[in-house]
Copies of this chain bind each other. A is one copy, B any other.
Amino acid sequence: MVNNKAVVFKKWAIDYPVIGEHFEYVTDREVTHELKEGEILTRNLYVSLDAYLRAKMRSHEETNLFGRFNLDQVIINHAIGEVIASKNPNIPVGEIVYSYLGWEEYSVIPAGQYVEIIKNARESKLPLSARIGALGMPGFTAYGGLLRYGKPKAGETIYISAASGAVGQLVGQMAKALGLRVVGSAGSDEKIAYLLNVLKFDAAFNYKNGDILASLKTAAPEGIHIYFDNVGGRHLEAALEWMLPRGRVVLCGQIGDVNTQNPPGVRNLFICVPKEISILGFFVMKFEQEYKAQFEKDVTEWLLSGKIVYKEDVTEGLENAPSAFLGMLQGKNFGKATVKIADL
C-alpha cells in the first residue's frame, strides 16, 4: 500500500455542502499496487466538476436515480488518467484513458468498468481535458439535448441559462451554426461580454442585474421557441412566461434547486396548457448511443477548425477541488470546470 491523497464524501448535504463537514481533501488514504486480474492502476490527470455530483450528495429519494455516494467514499466522476500498471491486456501501461476515476492521485479501476483509450492523446492538438469537456459528457449533453429534445429550426430563438457554463457555451454555438437567434444569461458582466464578443451570441444579459423576465423580454422581443434550462427556479418561470406557443423546454439540470430542501417552486406551469409547451427532462448518462459517433466526429471537427471554441476553467491541484466544486455550484467558474491533478 502507498499513500494516496483524495477528496472524500462524509455526510449528506441539504443546503450547499460545507468543506470539512460534508466532503474534504485528505492526505491519508492508501492505494495498493497489487492488482487483481483485469484491474488497472492509473495516475490521475484531470477530473471533471459536474453539477450532477451535487445530487449524489443528497439523501433525498430522487438521488437514487443518480446513484448516491456512500459515506466515506472517495468522490468519483468522469476523469482522465495515465495507466501506470495493468492486469488488463487491452489497456496497456502508458496509455491515456478516460473513465470514472476518484478525485485522488491514483485509482484502481475494477475489472469490467468502462475504460476508453484516448488515441494519440500525446500528439493531439486538442487539450487532454477535452474528453471530459466538449468531447465528453457536457458536450454530449449539449449536442443531444439541443438536437434531439430542442428540435431547433433555423430562424427560431433559443434562450440558454448558465450560458457560459460547461453545456451552455456549446449549445449556444451549435444553435448559432444551425441558424437560430441565440440569447444567453450568466451571472457576471465578464461572462456576458464573452458571450457577445467571443461566442457571438445575438443577445445576453446578467441575470443579477434586474428582473429576469424583463431582461429576457428585452433580449428576445419576439419571444422564445426553445429554452435550454441549466438552472430551474425563477429562470424557468421567466422562460415559460415568455415562451411562444408550442415551445420546448430542455431540462438539463436545475442547479439552483438541488442545494436547498425547499426550492421556491415553479408557479406558472399552468401556462404550458394554452401554449402547448413541452418540458423535456433528460440525463445524458442514459442517452441512446445512436448520436454518439456523429457527435464525436462533428465536435472534433468543429474544435479543430475553430468553428466552435470551448472555454475551460481549470483549477490546479487536487487540494483545491472542494472549493472549486463549491464555486461551480455558485456560478463562480467561467467555462467548464475541471481540476488538474498532475501533469502528463
A interface, CB within 8 angstroms of B: 55, 61-63, 65-66, 232, 236, 241, 245, 251-254, 257-258, 262-283, 286
Say whether B253 contacts A273, CB under 8 Å: yes
Instruction: Beyond the given A254-B269, A254-B270, A272-B279, please list 12 additional residue pairs across the A-B interface where CB-CB is below 8 A.
Output: A65-B274, A251-B273, A253-B273, A265-B265, A265-B266, A273-B281, A275-B281, A276-B281, A276-B282, A276-B286, A278-B279, A279-B280
Closest chain B residue to A149, Cβ basis? B278
Say whether A273 contacts B254, CB under 8 Å: yes
A268 to B281 alpha-carbon distance, docked (Å): 12
Question: Which B residues touch A276, using CB under 8 A?
Answer: 281-283, 286
User: Shortest beta-carbon distance, A300 to chain B, in Å?
Assistant: 27
Among A55, A252, A272, A281, chain B packs the most CB atoms within 10 A around the CB of A281
How many monomers of this protein are in the complex?
Answer: 2
Q: Using A245-B65, A277-B281, A278-B278 as known contacts, say yes or no to A263 and B272 having CB atoms under 8 A apart.
A: no
Say whether B241 contacts A271, CB under 8 Å: no
Question: Which B residues touch A62, using CB under 8 A?
Answer: 241, 268, 270-271, 274-275
User: Shortest beta-carbon distance, A62 to chain B, in Å?
Assistant: 4
A314 to B267 alpha-carbon distance, docked (Å): 33
User: Shortest beta-carbon distance, A55 to chain B, in Å?
Assistant: 7
Say whether A280 contacts B278, CB under 8 Å: yes
A272 to B258 alpha-carbon distance, docked (Å): 12
User: Shortest beta-carbon distance, A309 to chain B, in Å?
Assistant: 27
Closest chain B residue to A271, Cβ basis? B62
Set B232, B253, B267, B271: member contacting A262, Cβ < 8 A: B267
Question: Which B residues touch A286, using CB under 8 A?
Answer: 245, 276
User: Shortest beta-carbon distance, A161 to chain B, in Å?
Assistant: 14
**A–B pairs, 9, beta carbons within 8 Å:** A55-B274, A62-B241, A232-B270, A251-B272, A253-B273, A254-B270, A257-B267, A266-B267, A277-B281
A275 to B65 alpha-carbon distance, docked (Å): 7
Question: Which B residues touch A264, using CB under 8 A?
Answer: 265, 267
Say whether B273 contacts A263, CB under 8 Å: no
Closest chain B residue to A281, Cβ basis? B272
